[in-house]
């Protein structure tokens, strides 16, 4: 797709259907930024090829203009409808994949999502990030290692998740305590971390806008399977942004934003152990998950 | 590009870079509208191919999201920045071309543009559509025929144009009279029409938004060469939306929206004839253009 059109092939720069992309590309100045030239060449070629393949009616073109306009008008400080569009078309995951091609052995990445908050509280291992006591108790344990399985001490884990009703604290200001189900943890000398929480629930992405309407027209639901978010980093290592998924969620194979990777489905186990529950300050039964993150050297 | 992906090829619908488009397409419901399925299949395939070709960094993806968001926010009742984007990328002209493949002999079409107004005044042939007397006087004459050159009586011509400073009446409310340089004319029994006006001037498309900024980054100017707009229709014939271009405009070969077709460049001639000028109520010298429109049968 990337061959440069020859301006000489396009008589006087006048438009014609069969050379439509070449006419447009021939107008780009020699002096322009080379990266933007590369990007816009690909954009124009794919856009014209798409239009030629689909042959939209004038009315369908107007519908496309309206869809983009409504998507733009839906965006504000709290809502990013174009990111949502990128998410439901798999583009966000593709960009993530392209930018996170890791050596074999590193934990796979997935999308950051819109609910990360900077400045979550720093906790000692063992702390409970569930501040309102609501939900099914969960103990998360694990290690951060390098790709050879050697433990990494002082690795930082930034954790956030939805509650057992499928909402993040920022979506329920005044209902959930601020900074509910968020925290920063540091691994010990053996690379270990552990904290207490609740089992997360699936939730719907915002579907009251044009992107939600498109999802409906595609015959798709708006749900994301239950997961816990992590950003894990350590000095000298590539940080990773990823999720852990529960294995029993009905939406696991149909995540509205395609965020699931098979290697990120964890073994969340029910535990019936009244003594251990009491030690943890949990009601019995409860749930445990053990998970090791592997980081690649920079 | 249009082969249907097989859901069976995509294990459990989980995302992977090499099958990214297939994973997304496999989610579309069997029951969805077949035309939307065809369109979205092409959209997803081209979008993923584009991302794979360009390999945007996370920051470049964010820039693309910001560009689309700003373009959306620029749109209001008076300004359509996404149409402008479609225009400068040659997409509007391509959609026009696809929807107006006419039999050989019919006048070629070009974009409608944003300045058409319904309900322009209906005038007898010979009327002057320039209501403020400003500009270089112009006499427009011609015929409407079928593709065999036979005259069409009672054909309707909807005419509009910018003034000699490059502005339409709707852009200069209170400066130009309402409905200045607009009018509806009907051909006589010989298919003839004629009216008086002024020679139009080139103008810049609105370039104070994100699309204007992109034009600048591409090393392109925002100008459209001088032209007069026409919609010409008659009972039993396909209507055409087109322009006549002046042959001496410096932007003729670099129209910001690619609207020029070589066959639409007319012969605007200077005339030095004091007697004829007086007959027309013109100052001498003045300009004439003679142009025949050919319509194809429905």
Q: Where are the domains of chain B?
A: 7-55, 91-295
Distance CA A59, CA B229 (A): 21
Q: How high is the ipTM of this complex?
A: 0.90
Please, which residues 241-270 of chain A have a Cβ atom closer than 8 Å to chain B? Answer: 253-254, 258-262
Q: Which pLDDT score, from 0 to 100, does residue A144 have?
A: 98
Low-confidence ranges of chain A (pLDDT < 70): 1-12
Give which of B21, B33, B53 to mutate to test A binding, by max A Cβ within 10 Å.
Answer: B53
Alpha helices in chain B (DSSP H): 20-25, 34-54, 58-74, 81-88, 91-99, 210-217, 274-280
B162, with CB counted inside 10 A (0-12, 13-18, 19+), is: buried
For residue A203, give how far its alpha carbon lies from the nearest alpha carbon of chain B (Å). 18
Q: How many CA atoms lie within 13 A of A63 on its CB side?
A: 8
Q: Is A86 on the interface with B (CB under 8 A)?
A: yes
**Residues with Cβ < 8 Å from B27, sequence gap 6 or more?**
A218, A220, A254, B13
Could you tell me which of A260, A265, A261, A270 has the C-alpha nearest to residue A247? Answer: A265
A14, A46, A217: residue with CB nearest B33 = A217
Q: Which pLDDT score, from 0 to 100, does residue A269 have?
A: 97
The residue of chain B nearest to residue A72, with distances taken between CA atoms, is B72
A33, A60, A101: residue with CB nearest B217 = A33
A91-295 CATH choice from 3.40.640.10, 2.60.130.10, 1.20.1070.10, 3.40.50.720: 2.60.130.10
Q: Is B48 on the interface with A (CB under 8 A)?
A: yes
A15, A49, A97: residue with CB nearest B261 = A15
The residue of chain B nearest to residue A38, with distances taken between CA atoms, is B54
Q: Which pLDDT score, from 0 to 100, does residue A12 have?
A: 61
Contacts with A42 from chain B: Cβ below 8 Å: 50, 53-54
Distance CA B11, CA A261 (A): 11
A113 sits in the region (left: phi over 0; alpha: psi -120 to 50; else beta) called left
Q: What is the pLDDT of residues B177-211, one digit of tens each?
A: 999 999 999 999 999 999 999 999 999 999 999 99
Q: CB A235: neighbour CB atoms within 10 A?
A: 9
Q: Residue A204: enclosing H or E segment and its boundaries?
A: strand A203-204
3-state SS class at A185: strand
Q: What is the pLDDT of residues A39-83, one digit of tens each?
A: 999 999 999 999 999 999 999 999 999 999 999 999 998 789 999
B12, B30, B90: residue with CB nearest A15 = B90
Distance CA A208, CA A71 (A): 11
Could you tell me which of B291, B241, B298, B266 has the C-alpha nearest to residue B93? Answer: B241
Partner residues linked to A217 by β-bridges: none
pTM equals 0.90
Task: Tell me the two tokens of residue B279.
Answer: 């007959």
Q: Can you give the C-alpha Rg of chain A in angstroms?
A: 24
How far, rounded to the nearest angstrom, does the alpha carbon of residue B294 sit from its chain's CA centroid? 19
Q: Is B240 on the interface with A (CB under 8 A)?
A: no
Q: Is B8 on the interface with A (CB under 8 A)?
A: no
Low-confidence ranges of chain B (pLDDT < 70): 1-12
Could you tell me which of A89, A84, A185 has the C-alpha nearest to residue A142? Answer: A185
> What single-letter DSSP state applies at residue B17?
G
Q: Which pLDDT score, from 0 to 100, does residue A77 have?
A: 83
According to DSSP, the β-strands at A286-295 and A137-146 are parallel
Q: Is B73 on the interface with A (CB under 8 A)?
A: yes
Q: Is B79 on the interface with A (CB under 8 A)?
A: no
Distance CA A295, CA A32 (A): 39
Give which of B1, B14, B116 to mutate to test A binding, by max A Cβ within 10 Å.
Answer: B14
B16, B89, B219: residue with CB nearest A47 = B89
Q: Which pLDDT score, from 0 to 100, does residue B64 have?
A: 98
Contacts with A32 from chain B: Cβ below 8 Å: 217-219
């Amino acid at each position: 797709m990337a061959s440069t059109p020859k301006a000489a092939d396009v008589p006087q720069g006048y438009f014609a259907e069969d050379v439509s992309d070449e006419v447009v590309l021939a107008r780009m100045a020699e002096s322009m930024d080379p990266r933007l030239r590369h990007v816009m060449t690909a954009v124009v070629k794919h856009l014209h090829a798409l239009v030629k393949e689909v042959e939209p009616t004038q009315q369908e073109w107007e519908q496309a203009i309206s869809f983009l306009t409504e998507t733009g008008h839906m965006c504000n400080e709290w809502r990013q409808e174009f990111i949502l569009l990128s998410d439901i078309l798999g583009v966000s995951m593709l960009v993530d994949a392209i930018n996170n091609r890791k050596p074999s052995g590193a934990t796979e990445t997935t999308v950051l999502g819109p609910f990360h908050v900077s400045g979550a509280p720093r906790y000692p291992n063992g702390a409970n990030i569930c501040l309102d006591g609501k939900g099914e108790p969960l103990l998360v344990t694990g290690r951060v290692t390098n790709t050879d399985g050697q433990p990494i001490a002082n690795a930082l884990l930034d954790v956030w998740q939805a509650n057992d009703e499928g909402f993040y604290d920022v979506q329920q200001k005044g209902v959930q305590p601020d900074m509910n189900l968020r925290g920063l943890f540091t691994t010990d000398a053996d690379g270990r971390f552990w904290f207490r929480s609740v089992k997360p629930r699936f939730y719907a992405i915002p579907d009251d806008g044009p992107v939600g309407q498109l999802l409906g027209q595609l015959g798709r639901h708006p749900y994301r399977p239950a997961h816990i978010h992590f950003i894990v980093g350590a000095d000298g290592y590539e940080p990773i942004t990823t999720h852990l998924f529960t294995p029993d969620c009905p939406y696991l194979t149909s995540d509205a934003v395609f965020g699931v990777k098979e290697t990120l489905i964890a073994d969340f186990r029910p535990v019936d152990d009244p003594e251990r529950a009491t030690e943890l300050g949990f009601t019995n039964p409860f749930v445990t998950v053990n998970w090791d993150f592997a980081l690649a050297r920079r």
